[in-house]
Amino acid sequence: MKIVVFGKQFGPGFYDKCALLFKYLNESGAEVIVFEPFARFLSETAHIESYASKTFSSYNDLPNCNMLFSVGGDGTFLDAITMVRNRDIPLVGINSGRLGFLADIGMGDLPKAIDEILEGRFGIRELNLLQLSASTNCFGDINFALNELAIHKRDSSSMITVHTFLDGEFLNSYWSDGLIVSTPTGSTAYSLSVGGPILLPSAKDFIITPIAPHNLTVRPLVVPNTAEISLKVEGRGGKFLASLDSRSCILDDAVELKVRKADFTVSVVERIGQSFYSTLRNKLMWGADKRN
């Protein structure tokens, strides 16, 4: 089995578990390939032996493999997707920190979970992404997002207006601090924090969620992901900030954005017996109040 490991820096509290991860992979006979900056961190800072046969540095030199392990938080997982893209390589999210919906294998579950995965006892969940197109493509060929597109005001305390269209038909002009177009996966991320609903990962929808809207009757809206969403921004500053997951750029308000479902999906490894519902209960601490 050939396994790629992608990660970033993390704190000393995860050093022992991370070392155990690489020991398990080595003892299983897997060929391990490590993201080059992560390999340097492991060697020079954490002093962890990765047993890597080689390294890679980008999507272009990512070798064919059976799966990719993302070591870190959800942000690291989102960055790992930019390495995999449409290569149909299953991703395993290993959480080195606290809350994680995508990196959902915690430190306490690590030895058992890795054993299950290496023995082939797991399922695969296919996740939809959104894709952005614009007259100015500052995101290059990484113009997709697993979580969301977020639009924010910039250079002014004044609100912006986001004129929104679905398949060319006018929906609404949002007077707000910004607007989020979220996938079902992103429904538990930024969109949730500003009052958006939670969708199941299998939902074939997008969520349009305003950020601090001026009109309180304007609420989040769920729309089918077969629709093309067009966005035109107005504001006093003449510019706005657009973000795809963790990547951002500044755009002129003359730029029109179009969002649609990406033409590829991401495969995520799901442990047997651990469903999205159990993840919700654990991560959001549903039931922690004894009255529930």
Question: How many whole angstroms separate alpha carbon 177 and alpha carbon 210?
Answer: 8
Q: 200-203: which pairs have CB atoms within 8 A and are 24 or more residues apart?
A: 200/276, 201/125, 201/127, 201/276
Catalytic residue among 74, 79, 104, 253: 74
* Number of H-type helices and E-type strands within the chain: 6, 17
Beta 31-35 vs 54-56: how paired, if at all? parallel
Residue type at 286 in one-letter notation: W
Q: What phi and psi, each to the nearest 5 degrees, are found at residue 80?
A: -60, -35
Bridge partners (DSSP) listed for residue 161: 175, 234
Question: How many whole angstroms separate alpha carbon 168 and alpha carbon 272?
Answer: 43
Question: How many whole angstroms separate alpha carbon 265 and alpha carbon 254?
Answer: 31
Q: Which two tokens stand for residue 187?
A: 């429904």
Q: What is the dihedral of CA 49, 50, 55, 56, to 10 degrees?
A: -130
Cα-to-chain-centroid distance, residue 38: 19
Q: How far apart are the first and last CA of the chain?
A: 44
- Per the annotation, the verdict on 155 as an active-site residue is no
Question: How many whole angstroms separate alpha carbon 55 and alpha carbon 39?
Answer: 8
- Point out the residues that are catalytic: 74
